[in-house]
Amino acid sequence: MPRNILILGASYGSLLATKLLMAGHNVTLVCRRKTADLINQEGTEVRIKLRDEPNHRSILSRDLPGTLDAAPPEDIDPSRYDLVGLAMQEPQYNNHTIRVLMIKISAAKLPCLSIMNMPPLPYLKRIPALAAMDLEDAYTNAGVWDRFEPGLVSLCSPDPQAFRPPDEGANVLHVGLPTNFKAATFADEAHNRLLRELEADIDAVRLDGHDVPVKLKVFDSLFVPLAKWSMLLTGNYRCITPQEPQSIRDAVHGDLAKSRAIYEHVDGIARKLGADPQDQVPFEKYAKAAESLLKPSSAARAVANGTPFIERVDLLVKLISHQLGTPDPEIDRTVQIVDRKLDERVIEG
């Protein structure tokens, strides 16, 4: 049975949307009206590389069995949907029209699956060791999440790497690293049945007889998505330097011993919170993947382009580590560099 999925964010969100459309489900993307008009007129294009093929394939939404539409936040009726995907950058939820939509979504008691790097606060409250911690300072506006029931919010590790190619339309996404979305379960088993239904439907998709990468994988552990924190602190945020941004590969491989130490320290933080080592990704596997990540992270590019706000997983991990009594000087140094670069943007603005 086709499900109706609402996804906030038409850039990275179009990747999950395309996978759902290929599986026969219907998706609405929430975005600016200009982008919505473009998507409604032309559809989306996601470029992805299939295993053993030398070139990326262009997957066009208009050729897929599911139905895609797009709309600005003020035009959305949440009652039409079975599930909400949260795919915007965390600072974007502070926009007035998005905040109003979030109030409607929380009132509708819809299950919300985040594919943000920054975990929504209600999700963190599902982890006993974090529930009482003071973590609000890591968020642009923590109040956005006040109305959400923790059990209705889950987190999906956004491991696939993708970007909008420069000088192309806002409806085009290029997938650089086609890994899987790894989702934790909800509190309600009915919502988990829906998640596993989507998992199976996406897994069954074939394109000209070929398996299509970027699956949705569902895990019972709340800690599986937290494995991304080690990657972000070791690579993505260290792309931000006092000078120009560096690639993820250079951030990781410039000093592999230091990178390993940071990675393993963040893994250790997750284990103090309750993670099992099996929930985590070995450093060697991450370092191997980082060899192909030749561009700066999206956070580093955003800072270089003058944005005053980015997702602050670096600050979140710092706050957690200090409250656990396990601070790390390299993590503190990364946060300090990011703070300074963002402060420069505010002063220049």
Average pLDDT over every residue of 253-262:
98
- CA-wise closest residue to 12 among 162, 156, 120: 162
pLDDT tier, 218 (very low <50, low <70, confident <90, very high otherwise): very high
Which residue has tokens 């959400």?
148
Token couple for 204:
């069954």
pLDDT, tens digit, 9 for 90 and up, residues 149-178:
999 999 999 888 888 888 899 999 999 889
**Domains of the chain by residue range:** 4-219, 224-348
- Architecture of the 4-219 domain: 3-Layer(aba) Sandwich (3.40)
Token couple for 316:
């979140």
CB 315 within 8 A of CB 137: yes
pLDDT at position 349 over 50: no
pLDDT at position 323 over 70: yes
pLDDT, tens digit, 9 for 90 and up, residues 88-110:
999 999 999 999 999 999 999 99
CB burial string 40-49: b at 16+ within 10 A, e below: eeebbbbbbb
CA atoms within 13 Å, Cβ hemisphere of 183? 28
Reported pTM: 0.95
CATH class of the domain at 224-348: mainly alpha
